[in-house]
Structure 1
């Protein structure tokens, strides 16, 4: 290898996340390599992919991204990851061993410390939430709730109990 080319990570910005080929590519600006105003389609580097399977999460327009270049070739950009700007990280509980996936309308929280999984989606009727943990499973939408325990099912905080 000659040593010329663009190796390492470069700061970029997502300009378009609507890939006409449906491969999860994003159109990025990367001024340090591509120059000002030039955009290129970057292939995603994902942790899991195969024929019809994989983790498909495309960052929205305006997202700060790390851009790499296959073999150092500026015509072959790779989306290597994303990073937050100042005050952009999602608010998460300050709990050790907490993992969070947050989108515009949904959140998945995994608390490995207590063995709790919480999935929340914002809906026009209120937050829809599923909580699974050592004590059981709770499903709620707004003020309505179903709680499944090891010995009983409770609807709306005891309005109906099934043993």
Structure 2
């Protein structure tokens, strides 16, 4: 009988392109297999179903937590990720209120969805692309920007286009 490995182990993503397209990754788990890559680790996600669920895949080199089905190292499961240093944490996540932390979903190229309980113009919901195009919805109003100078701002009963080029009240 082979050794069983229960609990969580630190792993590093070696491969994230799953030939079966199910969100599996290959990892290195030094405490279990040294520098050898694992077999394909199944994802553990909050919800999965036919054509539905949460689909996320960590970047190559990212830190992930690994468990093993029934302790068997031939059946790894990646259950989440961790940041190795503070500089890896999305910047907007650190800007929130510690009593009510922001929710930030950010891709490697920094396409971002941020939800913050901060008051005023820094709080609310923000959807932002890598080129700077964004939509912000907060207590002040709604701002739509293409990241290249064109804006539409809805504040109270007023709509302002391109920094006052057209104002509708």
- TM-score w.r.t. the length of structure 2 is 0.85
The structure with more helix, counted as a fraction of residues: 2
Q: Which residue does 1:6 correspond to in 2?
A: 5
Question: Counterpart in 1 of 2:113?
Answer: 108
CA distance in structure 2 between the aligned counterparts of 1:95 and 1:140, rounded to whole angstroms: 25
Cα distance in 2, alignment partners of residues 55 and 136 from structure 1 = 30
Alignment partner for residue 155 of structure 2, among 149, 152, 156? 149
Gaps of 5+ in 2: none
Distance 1:113 1:150 in 2: 19
Residues 1:89 and 1:156: Cα distance change in structure 2 (over 3 Å): same
More strand as a share of residues: 1
The aligned counterpart of 1:70 is 69
Query: How many positions carry a matched residue from both structures?
Result: 158
Give per-residue Cα distances to partners, 1:26-77, cap 9 Å, x unaligned.
1111121123223321001111221111111100101111110011111110
SS of structure 1 residue aligned to 2:105: strand
Contact 2:16/2:24 (8 A) holds in 1: yes
Question: Which residue in the other structure is 1:133 paired with?
Answer: 138
Deviation, structure 1 residue 128 = 0.5
Contact 1:146 1:153 in 2 (8 A): yes
Contact 2:111 2:128 in 1 (8 A): yes
Question: Quick one: distance in 2 between partners of 1:106 and 1:132?
Answer: 17
Tell me how far 1:150 sits from its aligned partner: 3.8
Q: Unaligned 5+ residue runs, structure 1?
A: none
Q: State the Cα distance separating 1:122 from its structure 2 match.
A: 1.4
